[in-house]
Chain A
Amino acid sequence: MLIMLVGCGIGFFVYTSEHAYRTNTEGVSESVISKYPFKLGLDLSGGTHLVYRADVSLVAESEVRDSMSSLRDVIERRVNIFGVSEPVITVQNGGFSNAGEERLIVDLPGVTDVKEAVAMIGQTPLLEFRTENLGTKPQELIMNEKGEVSISLDSQFIATELTGRYLDKAILEFNSTTGEPTVSLQFDAEGSKLFEDITRANVGKTVAIFLDGEPISMPVVNEAISGGKAQITGAFTPQEAKTLVGRLNSGALPVPIELISTQTIGPSLGVEATHAGVRAALVGFLFIALFLIFWYRLPGLIGVVALSFYVATILALFKIIPVTLTAAGMAGFIISIGIAVDANILIFERIKEELRAGHSIADAIKNGFGHAWFSIRDSNFSSMITAIILFWFGTPLIQGFALTLLLGVIVSMISALSVSRLFLVALNITKTTKYTQFLFGSGFSSAKKS
């Protein structure tokens, strides 16, 4: 009796909290629960998915991770200025699954104007300090349309380690005598040291400052500069200088990036997909519920209850973790409903067998669960292996599917074993009458040996 109350209590709790979750995804209430709406993947919310490749050829091996994470921060800051809600920016570290490339993935839900998104990210400045190329590298000659020949600036200078990554801040200053605008750069501790080394090694030579691949200033170094302060004087209009300072301050790229793949989903497609997914889930669930009750009768009814518990738990987990739902993710969830039933059916069939063998109902239930456990464990295990490998596959789309499948399998095992058992035992059926035999039978036979 007590167990049944506990069981009901849990069920009730989950139901009300789930109900609260649901209403709060649409509503605007301020409670804690409203902070947990479903997280929708791009193919359901509509938006833009961009993949950038980062060129870390100049970065030391040990620094790569740091560079990538500061790249991530810089891009995030820039995206936030644009006012995108809930952008997701992730680093895909080079490794086996990436062909060794460092990648940055930018997901912008709700942003449908790809042009603007890419332009905005593209505005993140790339600041480089380069020194004169005195080596034996042949200098490239380039010829422009007019037939004039000049030495390509790219080959005149070689890059150093000092980039915008080490920039602390940029300040707009006006030269006190000439009134010219200058951009003052302040490096952080590491940057200051680098700058000092570079200037010391290049006294009397030119150190060029490149912005976005174009030189903006080529001062000659007079002496080693410590303290990490540099000034860029050039033919800036005050407006240009101000914009440059703004761009540098909102974050300079630590490494150059290149757009290698884009994807946009219009929002209407996304909404359609979501509705369709929910519809399919409901129909599927209903169908299974009917089948369970019709075929397995009383245990079937309990199975449906356990299944509802399972669905509620999974949805709650999706919200809390949170799991990003994609169309494939919804498919994974729906498949897991089917698998959840699997475990229950295994148990019921076992119970039926035990009853046929002549055991009492209480014993049949206990043994049924005991024997079924091994089958459940083994068969679900292989699904889990598949899900884990799929997860490693890497694309967010597939990971969503793998995660929902994995979660589904695990939770379904737990719910089938604990909840079903709870309810069955709680019902406390002890007498083996014809009526109970009918209830525990299945299909068109009764539980008595036929």
Chain B
Amino acid sequence: MFIIKYRKIFVSISAILVALSLGSLMYFGLDFGIDFRGGSLMEVTYEGVRPEQAVVEASLENLGYGGSLVQQIDTDGYSIKTRALTETERQSLVTALGTEATEKSFTSIGPSVGAELVRKSILSFILVSLGIIFFIAFSFRKVSKPVSSWKYGLIAIVALVHDVVIVSGIFALMGHFTGAEVDTLFVVAILTVLGLSVSDTIVVFDRIRENIRAGISGSFEDTVGKSLGQVFTRSVATSFTVIAVLVSLVFFGPSSTKTFSLLLVIGMFFGTYSSLFLASPLLVFIQKGQKHTKE
């Protein structure tokens, strides 16, 4: 089918996107929130007139928290980031902000907790990837011709990394303009994208496997092409429903999960894209590559 016919184009598109994302990551960088670095985040709203940002920053300096970050929330509040505060320090900060200020929320993460989170995140990512490779290699073990089963797993991971890099790149871009930070929800979003994207890729591989077993076409290339044609509508349809639901979350859902849902939308979209337009073309490339080395 046309995807396989023009596979060179599609793979190059993916490569370009990945390169762009890597560039974005390096240029804009990722802002790590207090979940990872440790520190405190306080959100306050003011009853009457909100004092000038400079005034708030001055009070913070007086307390010895120079170098803290004050950001505006809507028209009546501020979010204040400082180093981790003990309970007494928090109270003195609230008093210093004035009686008109109401503390809407407060989070303080000690540095050890933050470092631990970094560890766990990296570990989870590795675990999920490994789990997926093994699972695919296992369930595709009987289809080792013409491409060995663990190569299927490998391609799935390549598609995943492609998804994650692009999502992160877009996030870095977003973060530059909206101040969005990497927090626990970001990690959860990435891991979820991993899981959902893989399930999509598996459906495509599944069909290819079935067709190989049934021996319906001549060349491998043809088989892959035919399989893609068969699953195309279905993949698009299911991704569409999940994305629709997520979009509803972005617009109607709670504000704390807005960035999270947005990340998932982007992730699902590229997850499907990579399953259809990247994974299968790569399969054919590998098979053709194998043939060349054999001859």
Complexed CA–CA distance, A368 and B104 (Å): 53
Kindly name the residue among B117, B207, B242, B245 whose own CB sees the greatest number of chain A CB atoms within 10 A: B245
Complexed CA–CA distance, A279 and B257 (Å): 14
Q: Which residues 233-264 of B have a CB within 8 angstroms of A?
A: 233-234, 237-238, 240-246, 248-249, 251-257, 260-261, 264
Q: Check if A374 sits within 8 Å of B206, measured CB to CB.
A: yes
Interface residue B72 (Cβ < 8 Å from any Cβ of A): no
Kindly name the residue among B103, B238, B256, B261 whose own CB sees the greatest number of chain A CB atoms within 10 A: B256
Interface residue B221 (Cβ < 8 Å from any Cβ of A): no
Q: Check if B254 sits within 8 Å of A378, measured CB to CB.
A: no
Interface residue B295 (Cβ < 8 Å from any Cβ of A): no
Q: Check if A266 sits within 8 Å of B202, measured CB to CB.
A: no
Kindly name the residue among B105, B106, B116, B139 whose own CB sees the greatest number of chain A CB atoms within 10 A: B105
Residues from chain A with Cβ under 8 Å of B59 in the complex: none
Q: Check if B131 sits within 8 Å of A288, measured CB to CB.
A: no
Contacts A291-B244, A387-B195; A260 near B110 (Cβ below 8 A): yes
Residues from chain B with Cβ under 8 Å of A274 in the complex: 254
Which of the segments A139-147, A220-228, A395-403 contacts the partner chain?
A395-403
Chain A at the B interface: mostly helix, strand, loop or mixed?
Answer: helix
Closest to A392 in B: B124
Residues from chain B with Cβ under 8 Å of A20 in the complex: none
Contacts A269-B105, A393-B124; A335 near B255 (Cβ below 8 A): no
Per-residue interface assignment for chain B, residues 62 to 100, with 1 indicating a CB less than 8 Å from any chain A CB and 0 otherwise: 000000000000000000000000110011000000000
Residues from chain A with Cβ under 8 Å of B120 in the complex: 97, 393-394
Q: Which residues 332-351 of A have a CB within 8 angstroms of B?
A: 334-335, 337-339, 341-342, 345-346, 349
Q: Check if A382 sits within 8 Å of B135, measured CB to CB.
A: yes
Q: Check if A98 sits within 8 Å of B105, measured CB to CB.
A: no
Closest to B119 in A: A99
Q: Check if A263 sits within 8 Å of B107, measured CB to CB.
A: yes
Interface residue B16 (Cβ < 8 Å from any Cβ of A): no
Number of B residues whose C-beta is below 8 Å from A? 66
Q: A-B pairs with the 10 shortest C-beta distances?
A: A386-B195, A338-B242, A273-B254, A379-B199, A280-B253, A284-B248, A284-B245, A338-B245, A280-B252, A276-B254
Per-residue interface assignment for chain B, residues 176 to 218, with 1 indicating a CB less than 8 Å from any chain A CB and 0 otherwise: 0000000011001001101110111011001100000000000
Complexed CA–CA distance, A397 and B185 (Å): 9
Which of the segments A171-179, A232-240, A249-257, A323-331 contacts the partner chain?
A323-331
Closest to A341 in B: B241
Residues from chain A with Cβ under 8 Å of B103 in the complex: 264, 266
Q: Check if B234 sits within 8 Å of A385, measured CB to CB.
A: no
Contacts A284-B249, A334-B249; A266 near B241 (Cβ below 8 A): no
Q: Check if A277 sits within 8 Å of B253, measured CB to CB.
A: yes
Contacts A277-B253, A382-B202; A115 near B87 (Cβ below 8 A): yes
Interface residue A118 (Cβ < 8 Å from any Cβ of B): yes
Residues from chain B with Cβ under 8 Å of A272 in the complex: 254-255
Residue in B104, B106, B127, B253 whose CB lies within 8 Å of A331: B253
Q: Check if B203 sits within 8 Å of A383, measured CB to CB.
A: no
Complexed CA–CA distance, A272 and B258 (Å): 13
Interface residue A435 (Cβ < 8 Å from any Cβ of B): no
Complexed CA–CA distance, A56 and B184 (Å): 29
Complexed CA–CA distance, A401 and B190 (Å): 13
Complexed CA–CA distance, A405 and B86 (Å): 35
Residues from chain A with Cβ under 8 Å of B200 in the complex: 379
Closest to B197 in A: A382
Q: Check if B244 sits within 8 Å of A338, measured CB to CB.
A: yes
Closest to A98 in B: B116
A47 to chain B, nearest CB (A): 11
Complexed CA–CA distance, A280 and B248 (Å): 5
Contacts A265-B105, A341-B238; A276 near B253 (Cβ below 8 A): yes
Complexed CA–CA distance, A372 and B196 (Å): 18
Contacts A269-B105, A334-B245; A389 near B206 (Cβ below 8 A): no
Per-residue interface assignment for chain A, residues 275 to 303, with 1 indicating a CB less than 8 Å from any chain B CB and 0 otherwise: 01101110110011001000100000000
Interface residue A268 (Cβ < 8 Å from any Cβ of B): yes
A404 to chain B, nearest CB (A): 12
Per-residue interface assignment for chain B, residues 255 to 285, with 1 indicating a CB less than 8 Å from any chain A CB and 0 otherwise: 1110011001000000000000000000000
Q: Check if B139 sits within 8 Å of A405, measured CB to CB.
A: no
Q: Check if B238 sits within 8 Å of A346, measured CB to CB.
A: yes
A378 to chain B, nearest CB (A): 5
Q: Check if B108 sits within 8 Å of A262, measured CB to CB.
A: yes
Per-residue interface assignment for chain B, residues 115 to 131, with 1 indicating a CB less than 8 Å from any chain A CB and 0 otherwise: 11101100010011001
Interface residue B112 (Cβ < 8 Å from any Cβ of A): yes
Q: Check if A383 sits within 8 Å of B199, measured CB to CB.
A: yes
Contacts A287-B248, A385-B131 aside, 10 further interface pairs with beta carbons under 8 A come to: A97-B120, A99-B115, A264-B107, A276-B253, A287-B245, A330-B253, A335-B264, A380-B199, A386-B192, A397-B184
Contacts A288-B241, A295-B237, A387-B195; A262 near B128 (Cβ below 8 A): no
